[in-house]
Amino acid sequence: MKRLLLLTLLLIQPLMTEAKSDDHIMVIINKSSDIEQLSKSQVKNIFMGTVSVDNIVPLGLPPGEVARSIFNVRVIGLTESRIRSYWAQMRFSGRLKEPDNASGIDDLIINIRSASNTIGYVPENTPLPDDIKVVFRSSEQ
Amino acid sequence: MKMLKKHLSPFLLAASAACCSAPSVTWANSDSDFQISGFGRLVAGYLDTGDAAYLDYSDKVTFDSQSLAALQVDWQVIDKVSVTAQLLAHSNDAKDSGIEWLYLTYHINDDWQLRVGKQRTPFFNYSDVRNVGFAYHWINLPQQLYNGVLFPTYEGINLNYRFGNDEIQGSVETYWGSYNDSYEIAETQIKPDVSNLHGIIGRLQRQNLRFSLAFHRGDIDVALDELTAFSNILRSAGYGVSADSLSPVGKVEVLTTSLGYHSFDYFAEAEIMKLAGEPTAFPDMIGGYISAGIYSPPMTYHVTLASSSVTYDKPVNEIPLGLSPELDQLYYGYDSVYQRFKRDSLNSLAVGVRYDFSANFALKADVSLLRGQGKQRAFFEVKNEQFDNTATLYQLAVEWVF
């Protein structure tokens, strides 16, 4: 029992990263994609796997990233713990698989530059290379 | 099976605990793609009475009743075909450890999915993740539905279709298969033979609101040897109607519906079931729960009211009383058989808190007030006939996924 408690203490990480009320995100995709704009519902459906849109592959950020917390609040509308529970249910019931996560914002941008159908989110005002375009801004909702 | 479990449990617990701080593990090459994930739970419980047990909890703190660990292997065989196996180790001797799921999935396209193999029967919202405590807010799913008289798994096919637009999304799931295994309600082991088990589940979602409606049906043989033997005696004595009334064979039908709303701040959800079984030994049952809670990250506070009501078809005792000692014996024998059918009518109120202290770990604490109706079994394992069917269950749990 002591070992288990020690292991548990060693493994815990802060789950929640607080998002400020004026923080926003933007959803980005490779410029070669035909998609020019997405609605909030479309973005939510893509990232929650409820509806597929034009073979788009969502790529998230890991728990603890500020942009992920903002995305959960502004777009998904659920807490991180509820989202984790949802994906546990989907995965272990064999219905859906959680989107992969990039290791961070730089990695996410690299992935989107190299694939025309990958979609992701970054903090608003993140500098973007020329071959990436914005298809949704939470600040415009 | 016990030998298997003896070897599985330490391995799975160690593997599960070692992996739980990391995301699922993937080995990939150009020809195949293996992904290993898993879940586990360590649950401690205490029942405030020594007169009965509930879910194997008694008046001594125990970790053995519901603790478990599992590994799931997903193998992407080719582009649209994957194989999933789920290996489960229970700490409870009364529960079988081993392969919980083993199925092949054919992703026909983004909207259609076909699964073939051993799968969990999708009776209720959380049926197929009953062992994955991380997926829900309680420690115990409401027993009035989830530890009912229904068969936990089936072997067969499952077809799922997704549809939707920006506003409304939904799915229709159908399945067909059979069940021939044993499961436990209170201290009673049940091993029915269920064939032609099939069902259809419709789900709709509009933003944060979810609704489902499902119908399930199966042909069941409750396979109680004593019942069959007594029924044969009645028939040979010329009391065919009474014999037929104890037939262990017939249809079972289940109708379920659910409604749920989850927002950033709070949630509410409810499920209701109506179960009707043709065999007299199979109960008719109405059960349901309503649960609500507040999200205050990283905490979730919740309260749940649940209830079940069980009845059996009325006895058809056509044996005359007082004509001869032999017939009297038969009359009272019939009466005795009928009275021995177990009734699980239970009201409960549960309050709990969940603390998500990392992305893959959650701590939970639940208190459940249990009130069995009348002198029924009410999911209790009664040890003292003076037990008043009232108890409080205290539980703590650590849940994890990786």
DSSP state of B56: T
Mean pLDDT score, B270-284: 88
This model of the complex carries an ipTM of 0.83
pLDDT for residue B66 is more than 50: yes
- Both structure tokens of B380: 């209790």
- CA atoms of B376 and B385, how far apart (whole Å): 11
Q: Do A77 and B84 touch (CB under 8 A)?
A: no
Per the structure, the count of domains in chain A is 1
Does the B2-401 domain belong in CATH 2.40.160.10?
Answer: yes
pLDDT at A11 over 70: no
What confidence tier does B192 reach under pLDDT thresholds 50, 70, 90?
confident
Answer for the pair B255, B214: CB distance below 8 angstroms, yes or no: yes
pLDDT higher than threshold 80 for residue B259: yes
- Is residue A34 a part of any domain in this protein? yes
Residue B285 CA to residue A65 CA, distance in Å, equals: 48
CA distance B174 to B259: 20
Which of B231 and A132 is assigned the larger pLDDT?
A132
Average pLDDT rounded to a whole number, residues B298-319: 90
Which distant-in-sequence residues (6+ apart) come within 8 Å of B112 by Cβ? B159, B160, B161, B162
Coil, strand or helix at B252: strand
pLDDT in tens, A79-107: 998 999 999 999 999 888 899 999 999 99
B236: confidence class by pLDDT, cuts 50, 70, 90 = confident
Q: How does pLDDT run across A34-69, given as a tens digit for each residue?
A: 999 999 999 999 999 888 777 899 999 998 899 999
Q: What is the pLDDT of residue B13?
A: 53
In a domain, A102, yes or no: yes
Residue A52 forms part of a structural domain: yes
Q: Cβ separation of A88 and B129 shorter than 8 Å? A: yes
Give the pLDDT confidence of B343-386 residue by residue, as tens digits.
Answer: 788 999 999 999 998 889 999 999 999 999 877 788 888 898 88
Residue among B140, B118, B123, B151 at smallest CA distance from B41: B140
At B254 the pLDDT is: 95
Confidence of residue B16 (pLDDT cuts 50, 70, 90): low
Residue A28, pLDDT above cutoff 60? yes
Distance of CA B303 to the CA centre of its chain: 20
The DSSP H or E segment spanning B30 is none
Which phi and psi (to 5°) does residue A40 adopt?
-60, -40
Contacts of A94 in chain B (CB under 8 A): 84, 101, 103, 105, 115, 119, 128
HSE of B378 in the Cβ direction (CA atoms, 13 Å)? 22
Q: What is the 3-state secondary structure (H, E, C) of chain A?
A: CHHHHHHHHHHCCCCCCCCCCCCCEEEEEECCCCCCCCCHHHHHHHHHCCCCCCCCEEEECCCCCHHHHHHHHHHHCCCHHHHHHHHHHHHHCCCCCCCEECCCHHHHHHHHHHCCCEEEEEECCCCCCCCEEEEEEHHHC
| pLDDT for res B288 | 96
| Interface touch A92/B126, C-beta < 8 Å | no
Q: What is the CATH number of the domain that holds A85?
A: 3.40.190.10
Out of B42, B134, B264, the one facing A85 most closely (by C-beta) is B134
* Mean pLDDT estimate for chain B: 86
Q: Which residue of B has its CA nearest to A11?
A: B21
Given an 8 Å threshold on Cβ–Cβ distance, is B42 in contact with A79? no
Among B105, B126, B139, B169, the strongest candidate for a mutation testing the A interface, having the largest count of A CBs within 10 A, is B169
- CA atoms of B21 and A86, how far apart (whole Å): 18
What confidence tier does A19 reach under pLDDT thresholds 50, 70, 90?
Answer: low
Q: Report the pLDDT averaged over residues B261-268.
A: 95
The residue extents of the domains of chain B are 2-401
Domain carrying residue A75: 24-140
Q: What are phi and psi of A45, to 5 degrees?
A: -65, -40
In a domain, A130, yes or no: yes
Give me the helix-helix angle, B225-236 and B325-339, nearest 10°. 150
Answer for the pair B92, B105: CB distance below 8 angstroms, yes or no: no
- Integer Cα distance of B370 and B375 in angstroms: 13
Distances (CA, A) of B348 to B52, B143, B306, B379, B386: 16, 9, 5, 12, 20
CA distances to B33, B140, B187, B249, B344 from B55, rounded to whole Å, are: 39, 9, 9, 28, 13
Give the DSSP per-residue string, B83-120.
EEEEEEEESSTTS--EEEEEEEEEE-SSSEEEEEEEEE
CB pairs under 8 A between A and B: 119
B264: helix, strand or coil = coil
Q: How do residues B18-57 score in pLDDT, each as one tens digit?
A: 555 444 555 444 445 889 999 999 999 999 999 999 999 9
Nearest in space to B297 (alpha carbons), one of B260, B263, B259, B261: B263
Measured from the Cβ of residue A26, the count of other Cβ atoms closer than 10 Å reads: 21
